[in-house]
């Protein structure tokens, strides 16, 4: 692959530090069980047999999730619980989780080190960046997180998500300081883009100008996705074969970040997204939808924590940072879900498809360009590139590296 930057600068001395922020499911998670854990079966009480020092084991991704018995163990350990008294989400009692290697790209490369080939995530992109001159831990940094958690509107506690923003901010500052105070390029994928945008809009303009050179967002679901409503209604295997979607639906519904990814009313409007014999649901009827599918416990946290957060997208002041959105188009993407016989555990919808990247609808991918008409938002459209293949397709990687190269080259020309 031809690396454009090699023709404009020699060595890594001219490179702006680069921070990678993964999407949901894009980094490894570890867990350990304590005395408070109440397993649903005898198998879950000792599985997995082999553990690391201190009882830690890989929670995500573990290939044994393909077996239904272990899928149940996985699901109950991934489950989050909303506590109305504290107004925050927490793990299942007796389950501790941690994110490893914050600051490094190690846990972003693949989801299971023993199956690097088939669980590769950012490895193809990172390999190309290293050929370009980036060095992990010196000019290249990873910011993994517990992707089950999200953020909430102002005035609501959000212990895990808020700590991640604080850690990400500190990493950006350190990356800049350690590289001659060069501002950082942030590159995100999917859900990671929402975290980065929140960091930028919650920080002062002077901070953003000092520490962030450019923000490149890949496949960002700025306004959510209809596919998320399918996840809540019927479960989503995320392409993992042999897994019964109903076995993972409970933990997927419980994830705070999944509530955050439901369609934004201001972008999707009042057109029906879910159709049933008795009622239709637009993005304005998410609360009714959650109740209709049998998940009433999701209504209150959505109404109080998430809805005000997503509705402020067009009201916040755009950050004073150049933004490039790299998106896939021309891939069949769920646009309307038709439940011909109503909701039910044994009922999958007929899916009406529209344009997008196979996961995120086009109007969501283009939301910043639509809402921030006064802000320069560059959009790179990649035909027939899916939500995840944006990280592996050679054409896509060439475009991403080209954008990073142009930022670095422009910085050199300013000197």
Token pair recorded at residue 332: 């069949």
CB burial class (10 A; 0-12, 13-18, 19+) of residue 345? exposed
CA-CA-CA-CA torsion sign (240, 243, 249, 252)? negative
Residue 287 near residue 274 (C-beta atoms within 8 A): no
The residues with which 140 forms a beta bridge, in sequence order, are: 18, 136
The residues with which 30 forms a beta bridge, in sequence order, are: 58, 98
Residue 364 near residue 371 (C-beta atoms within 8 A): no
Span between the terminal Cα atoms of the chain, in Å: 28
The residues with which 136 forms a beta bridge, in sequence order, are: 140
CB burial class (10 A; 0-12, 13-18, 19+) of residue 270? exposed
CB burial class (10 A; 0-12, 13-18, 19+) of residue 288? middle
Phi/psi of residue 241, each to 5°? -70, 155
Q: How far apart are CA 359 and CA 380, in angstroms?
A: 17
Token pair recorded at residue 196: 């980065």
The residues with which 354 forms a beta bridge, in sequence order, are: 333
- Residues assigned a catalytic role: 190, 357, 387
How do strand 212-218 and strand 184-189 relate by DSSP bridges?
Answer: parallel
Q: How far apart are CA 321 and CA 377, in angstroms?
A: 10
Only one residue has tokens 């402020």, namely: 312
């Amino acid at each position: 692959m031809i690396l454009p930057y090699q023709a404009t600068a020699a060595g890594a001395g001219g490179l702006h530090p680069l921070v990678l922020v993964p999407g949901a499911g894009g980094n490894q998670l570890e867990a350990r069980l304590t005395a408070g854990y109440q397993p649903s079966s005898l198998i879950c009480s000792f599985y997995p047999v082999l553990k690391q020092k201190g009882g830690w084991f890989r929670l995500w991704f573990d290939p044994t999730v393909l077996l239904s018995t272990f899928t149940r163990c996985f699901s109950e350990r991934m489950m989050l619980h909303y506590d109305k008294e504290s107004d925050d989400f927490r793990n299942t009692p007796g389950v501790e989780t941690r994110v490893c290697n914050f600051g490094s790209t190690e846990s972003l490369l693949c989801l299971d080190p023993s199956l690097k080939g088939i669980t590769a995530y950012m490895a193809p992109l990172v390999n190309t960046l290293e050929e370009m001159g980036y060095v992990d831990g010196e000019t290249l940094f990873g910011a993994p997180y517990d992707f089950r958690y999200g953020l909430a509107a102002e005035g609501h506690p959000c212990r895990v998500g808020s700590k991640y923003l604080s850690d990400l901010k500190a990493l950006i500052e350190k990356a800049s300081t350690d590289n001659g105070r060069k501002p950082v390029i942030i590159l995100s994928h999917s859900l990671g883009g929402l975290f980065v945008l929140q960091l930028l809009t919650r920080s002062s303009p002077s901070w953003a100008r000092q520490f962030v050179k450019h923000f490149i967002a890949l496949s960002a679901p700025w306004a959510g996705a209809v596919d998320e409503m399918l996840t809540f209604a019927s479960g989503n295997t995320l392409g993992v074969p042999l897994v019964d979607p109903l076995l993972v639906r409970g933990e997927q519904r419980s994830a705070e970040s999944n509530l955050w990814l439901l369609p934004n009313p201001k972008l999707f409007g009042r057109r029906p997204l879910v159709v049933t014999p008795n009622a239709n649901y637009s993005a304005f009827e998410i609360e009714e939808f959650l109740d209709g599918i049998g998940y009433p416990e999701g209504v209150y946290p959505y109404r109080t924590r998430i809805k005000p957060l997503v509705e402020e997208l067009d009201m916040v002041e755009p950050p004073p940072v150049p933004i490039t959105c790299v998106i896939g188009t021309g891939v069949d993407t769920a646009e309307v879900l038709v439940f011909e016989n109503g909701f039910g555990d044994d009922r999958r919808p007929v899916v009406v498809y529209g344009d997008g990247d196979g996961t995120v609808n086009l109007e969501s991918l283009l939301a910043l360009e639509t809402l921030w008409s006064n802000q320069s938002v560059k959009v790179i459209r990649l035909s027939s590139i899916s939500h995840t293949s944006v990280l592996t397709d050679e054409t896509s990687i060439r475009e991403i590296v080209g954008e990073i190269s142009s930022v670095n080259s422009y910085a050199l020309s300013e000197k």
